[in-house]
Structure 1
Amino acid sequence: MSGDGIMETSGQVEARQPRTARGRATRRKVLDAAAIEFGEKGFHETSIVSITARAGVALGSFYTYFESKDELFRALVQDMSNSVRDNVAPAIADEPSSLTREGQALAAFLSFAREHKELYRIIDEAEFVAPEAWNDHYAVTAGRIEARLAEVQAAGEIREVGEVEAWAIMGMNVFLGLRYGVQEDDADLDEIATKVTALLKNGLAR
């Protein structure tokens, strides 16, 4: 364990998660600053100095939580993926196991994308900068959708579905987020959710 209470295992830092409230707050500042810097400038044009300056923390403090800019970027991709999850979960917590949940999940995601437009640039760049984190982001997201679909299937509302349908829905959500979260941010999210729910329920058949 380091001086700031960071847990280490077998000589490697295990996600470098601080054990103290102060440490967690500092790490959070670095991640938030990194999201802005990477979102505005991209990975290669962003420096550790610019991140710590924006975060208002000492340069030396950076290395308490991250070994390098690469490690920070990977942590940021995971952090943003978790943030999407944490924003969607409350929006569908009270919804029964039905396809309506997918519409509400989409609306929550679009709202998040509007507030965090840097999400798309960071995730897109991760394909080349941090491919494992990029793969994990999409695999985990699709897994959440597939789990929800399994519940709807168990309730008897839909036919047997699986990975293909989950990835198809995720792909639709990604581009709807690009259109109505990043490119245009004044569309009615409830209306979009209603249309997507109808699409999922009825397909495109006449």
Structure 2
Amino acid sequence: MSERAKGESTRTERGNRTRAKLIEAAEKVFAELGYHDASIVKLTEAAGVAQGTFYLYFQSKQQIFDELVQDLNRRVRHAMSEASAGGVNRIESERLGFHAFFRFTAEHPALYRIIRQAEFVSPAALRLHYTRIVEGYVDGLDKAKSNGEITDLDTTVAAWALMGIGELIGMRWVLWDDSNDSLPEPVFDEVMALIQRALGARVLDSDTGEVT
């Protein structure tokens, strides 16, 4: 690698780190102060960078807010899809995916506060956030339906309904209850029993090949 290429690579790596610091600071500042009380000065102070540096990466407070919503969306979807991929059947994938969501909620309570702000600050970002989650969810439910693991239902309606369950349960038992660093196990079990009944989820016996 040439010296010039090395220098460009270093600048890119440094730039990526600075951008990541600003996004991380934005998560904290927007969650604590709200969009309207946050400012570029407070964002850069939290990130530990000069105010002028902000404009090397973002044109406005609105832009960094929108990119923060996208970043949170990417991270929560990754956590859920990575976890659910380990399931051997649909209900187990649901269990693993929901568990990952509630864990992410406990670790990133700003997710709720920021997404709710997006309803008024950036409706387009809010819609994109939910739509991206549902798209992946529908794909998984479609495969499960074709495999006979769940009942014949409208997978788009089911995906939106299940996402609503997860969000409100997480709000009540994780976000609102400071004593919980995860969803209480009895609540989680009740949620999963409800989801299994709603999906008409059946389990494929790996030994017999029969669905039960």
TM-score (norm 2): 0.82
Give, in angstroms, the shift of residue 100 of structure 1. Answer: 1.9
Match of 2:42 in 1: 50
Alpha-carbon contact 2:30-2:114 (below 8 Å) kept? yes
Alpha-carbon contact 1:107-1:192 (below 8 Å) kept? no
Structure 2: 5+ residue runs without aligned partners? 1-6, 201-212
For residue 157 of structure 1, give the secondary structure of its aligned residue in structure 2.
coil
Match of 1:38 in 2: 30
Does structure 1 residue 169 correspond to structure 2 residue 162?
Answer: yes
1:95 to 65, 87, 92: 87
- Matches of 2:159 and 2:199, distance apart in 1: 18
Match of 1:11 in 2: none
Alpha-carbon contact 1:103-1:196 (below 8 Å) kept? no
- Matches of 1:154 and 1:50, distance apart in 2: 51
Amino acid at match of 1:126: A
- Matches of 2:167 and 2:183, distance apart in 1: 17
Does structure 1 residue 83 correspond to structure 2 residue 78?
Answer: no
Match of 1:61 in 2: 53
- Matches of 1:75 and 1:186, distance apart in 2: 27
Match of 1:196 in 2: 191
TM-score (norm 1): 0.84
Match of 1:8 in 2: none
Structure 1: 5+ residue runs without aligned partners? 6-18
CA RMSD of superposed structures (Å): 2.3
Corresponding pairs, count: 190
* Bigger shift: residues 155-164 or 105-114: 155-164
Alpha-carbon contact 1:91-1:108 (below 8 Å) kept? yes
Flag as ranges the 4+ runs of structure 1 deviating above 6 A: none
Amino acid at match of 1:104: L
Give, in angstroms, the shift of residue 20 of structure 1. Answer: 1.5
Amino acid at match of 1:118: A
Give the fraction of aligned pairs with identical amino acids, expressed as a percent: 39
1:70 to 32, 52, 62: 62
- Matches of 1:149 and 1:195, distance apart in 2: 21
- Matches of 2:198 and 2:73, distance apart in 1: 28
Amino acid at match of 1:196: V
For the pair shown, which has the larger CA radius of gyration, 1 or 2?
2
